[in-house]
């Protein structure tokens, strides 16, 4: 797998609304507490969402459909439908007009706990909102996003937020001293089913998520243990990250298998990236404000 070098937080201004491409920012769950499983089968969560400065890149096109490129394009080839095309279809059904097409540069691994598909769908909704002059915070946009997946509303925001319910009930928060922190994302190259991880959760409520930035520092990921039971290599990633100099903390994101590590500075992060096995995917980046 390829090594992605760091993109500085202020290397370039963000694209103006409506301009292409839009970055589908990699999503992190800095902490994820699973509190219960409802009678409807959905799990009640408390999580602290954060986003990285890098991710997939999505371009709005006139011709319907989805054109794929990038290092993980092959993983999506053959899919007749995915969250981006579903987002375009739902948008056209609600707001009218022709169904849009997109070009997706797939830089993030799929089924990896960093919101790749959800972030792509969210970027599609932002692009369509800019094209049609609709506020992305419009409740109708939120309804489309929530219907596509529990993480999609947070990915539309793509800013730090506390998520509750299934993760779609959002309250924006400040990351405080963690804003802009160097972070390393690492995946052992194994796709992991979200459903399988939740099924393996032991249904023990280990307590509420702390408030504010303490949620990141004092929280946990309740899906980490069941994910490791399914993919032991996740434990290997966490062990190696945990031994690196300059580490603030390391944890698994979402339902895995991607893990992340926050470091004191870029030099420590980049040294850790160089120490990893070459077969592991990694992304050296920073946390968005």
Active site residues: 27, 151
What backbone phi and psi angles, to 5 degrees, belong to 70? 100, 170
**Rounded CA separation 185/187 (Å):** 7
């Amino acid at each position: 797998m390829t090594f992605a070098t760091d993109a500085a937080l202020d290397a370039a201004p963000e694209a103006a609304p409506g301009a292409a491409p839009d970055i589908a920012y990699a999503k992190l769950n800095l902490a994820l507490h699973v509190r219960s499983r409802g009678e409807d089968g959905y799990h009640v969560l408390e999580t602290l969402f954060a986003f990285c400065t890098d991710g997939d890149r999505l371009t709005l096109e006139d011709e319907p459909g989805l054109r794929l490129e990038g290092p993980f394009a092959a993983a999506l080839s053959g899919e007749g439908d995915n969250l981006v095309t579903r987002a375009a279809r739902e948008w056209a059904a609600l707001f009218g007009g022709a169904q849009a097409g997109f070009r997706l540069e797939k830089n993030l691994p799929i089924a990896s706990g960093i919101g790749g598909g959800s972030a792509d769908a969210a970027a599609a909704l932002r692009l369509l909102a800019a094209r049609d002059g609709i506020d992305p915070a419009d409740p109708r946009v939120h309804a489309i996003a929530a219907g596509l997946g529990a993480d999609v509303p947070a990915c539309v925001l793509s800013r730090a937020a506390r998520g509750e319910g299934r993760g779609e009930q959002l309250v924006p928060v400040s990351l405080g001293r963690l804003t802009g922190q160097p972070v390393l994302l690492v995946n052992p190259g194994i796709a992991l089913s979200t459903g399988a991880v939740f099924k393996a959760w032991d249904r023990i409520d280990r307590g509420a998520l702390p408030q504010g930035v303490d949620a990141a520092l004092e929280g946990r990921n309740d899906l980490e243990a069941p994910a490791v039971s399914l993919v032991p290599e996740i434990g290997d990633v966490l062990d190696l990250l945990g031994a690196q100099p300059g580490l603030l903390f390391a944890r698994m994101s979402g339902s895995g298998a991607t893990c992340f590590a926050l470091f004191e500075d870029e030099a420590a992060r980049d040294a850790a990236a160089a120490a990893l096995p070459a077969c592991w995917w990694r992304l050296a980046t920073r946390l968005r404000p």
